Amino acid sequence: MALQANFKSPSRLGSLGEGASGSPAGSVPGAAGKGPGVDLERRNFLGMVVGGVGAAVAVSTLFPIVKYIIPPSNAVKDVSEKVVGKASDVPPKGFKIFQFNKDKVLVINDNGQLTACSAVCTHLGCLVHWESAAGQVACPCHGAKYKQTGEIISGPQPLPLKAYKVKVDGENLVVSKA
Ligand code: FES
């Protein structure tokens, strides 16, 4: 049964006589520098490496999420009125889409009568366009139809298009909140 005892056991080493080192750490004679102290250092080092890699992965994963959730402090503030372009940008029977705050605005020139509404379909967000011949705003995705002023004519959309005001100021085309 004594042969089954742990070879590194201090009690076993003690029974081997004077030549054996009875180090409680269990180091083996002639194996200086390769004992459990080294194992412990290696384990600590590996622990630090694994911890560092884990922290790096956590930071690289969380940083974009946090950045997405918290808007940048220098975000452009909404305005109530904005010069979006030139009046000549929207010819008679034509239309053009302009950026206004976070929305896209469809400006329609129906033979000199200017109107404006959101260009983002309220169904699934496709951009609408003006069909001059039919006299309606249409969405190419699922067939939503709106009046020039944004009210629903037909289609799957749940809401009308958001209305905006538009005017000509000299050469400029000015869009404002309705
Ligand atoms: S996104 Fe316009 S009809 Fe579906």
Q: Distance of alpha carbon 119 from its chain centroid, rounded?
A: 24
Q: How far is the CA of 137 from the centre of ligand 1 (A)?
A: 12
Per DSSP (E only), the strands in 103-178 are 103-110, 113-118, 129-131, 136-138, 145-146, 152-154, 163-169, 172-177
What amino acid is encoded at 177 in this protein? K
Report residues whose beta carbon is within 6 angstroms of any ligand 1 atom.
121, 123-126, 139, 141-144, 155-157
Q: What is the pLDDT along the chain (178 residues), one digit of tens a residue?
A: 444 544 454 554 444 444 444 444 444 444 445 566 778 888 888 889 999 999 999 999 898 888 888 877 666 689 999 999 999 999 999 999 999 999 999 999 999 999 999 999 999 999 999 999 999 999 999 999 999 999 999 999 999 999 999 999 999 999 999 9
| pTM, 2 dp | 0.61
- The whole-angstrom separation of Cα 58 and Cα 41 is 25
Which tokens go with 101? 């705050």
